[in-house]
Amino acid sequence: MRGIWGKASVMIAAVACFAWPAKAAQTLWTSYMRVGPGPQFAVLQELPSQVSLDVLDCRSGWCQVRFGTVVGYVRQSLVGDPNPPAAAGDKGCFDTVLTGHPGGDHVRICSR
């Protein structure tokens, strides 16, 4: 009897995972979708920049996402709103720090 309940709870957990409401998003850059939440996990596939996906959950810098029928993990910093609000003169830009950069450590990167 315990085997039946164990299998039933696994099936319920799997259904609950896919029934949870997802948030529409897109990749901000070319990204690797991985089996687990970290660079040590195998790559499932490479996602191109600005591809649509569904975010199921985000924790500790990684998001569990669904791309078509494939579920995997993408670094949270590479996932963004598919319709970000337009900022005057600052569309698609962010500041970052690049160590060893000849022009200094702080740079501004903007997408086209």
* Domain residue limits, the chain: 21-110
Among 77, 87, 74, 67, smallest CA distance to 24 is for 67
Superfamily of domain 21-110: SH3 Domains (2.30.30.40)
Do residues 37 and 73 lie in contact, with contact meaning Cβ atoms separated by under 8 Å?
yes
Give the H or E element holding residue 16. Answer: helix 2-19
Residue 6: the pLDDT is 45
Convert the pLDDT of each residue in 41-89 to its tens digit: 999 999 998 899 999 999 999 999 999 999 999 999 998 877 665 555 5
Q: How many CB atoms lie within 10 A of CB 48?
A: 9
Q: Identify residue 7 by its one-letter amino acid code.
A: K
Confidence of residue 22 (pLDDT cuts 50, 70, 90): confident
Provide the strand spans (E) within 49-92. Answer: 52-59, 62-67, 70-75, 79-80
Q: Identify residue 5 by its one-letter amino acid code.
A: W
What six digits make up the tokens of 57? 């959950």
